Amino acid sequence: MADSIDPKFFRQVMSQVPTCVTVVTAMVDDAPQAMVIGSFVSISIDPPLAGFFCTTASETWQKLRRADALGVNVLSATQIDVSNACMRAPDERLGDLDWEIADGAPRISGTSAWLTLTIDQVSVAGDHEFALCNVETMEAADPTVEALAFYGGAYRTFAPADSQ
């Protein structure tokens, strides 16, 4: 049955699932690496685990997975430019952004949340790999700082549901 699913239609259907926009960062061979991830997910509270998916063809992922620490920068609603910058050529992604090393990984200023992860295990999932990670440190911005979302093929912000 899976062979009969049109990849373009699959992408169209899945675009109806909102995702949080994150940038996973690391220092690899003394150089900053960054990659936009739309699949970051909380997995477990005890122990604290989180994870994300990366395409197996990604050269950046192959570098990130060698790092001692990964930074997860949860972008705020005002950071569309940061997301776009992190889709440029790998050596240009963090170039003009405001960032610093925190807990061993590049931390981008102005994010709505920050986590430091260490990879526990990586498993193959089709044309992607899933990184199951231990949460080592985390911080959240003021609750009024909205996260950036991607939905329907475009960046979005969250609006509170009307009270009934």
pLDDT tens across 42-72, in order?
A: 999 999 999 999 999 999 999 999 999 999 9
User: Model's pTM, two decimal places?
Assistant: 0.90
Instruction: Delineate the domains of the chain, giving CATH numbers in brackets.
Output: 29-146 (2.30.110.10)
CB neighbour list of residue 14: distance below 8 Å, 6 or more residues apart: none
Tokens representing 28 are 């690899």
Distance CA 131, CA 38 (A): 13
For residue 137, count other CB atoms closer than 10 A to its CB. Answer: 14
- 3-class DSSP state of 115: strand
In the 8-state DSSP scheme, what is residue 88? S
pLDDT tens across 117-151, in order?
A: 999 999 999 999 999 999 999 999 887 788 999 98
Tokens representing 41 are 């997910």
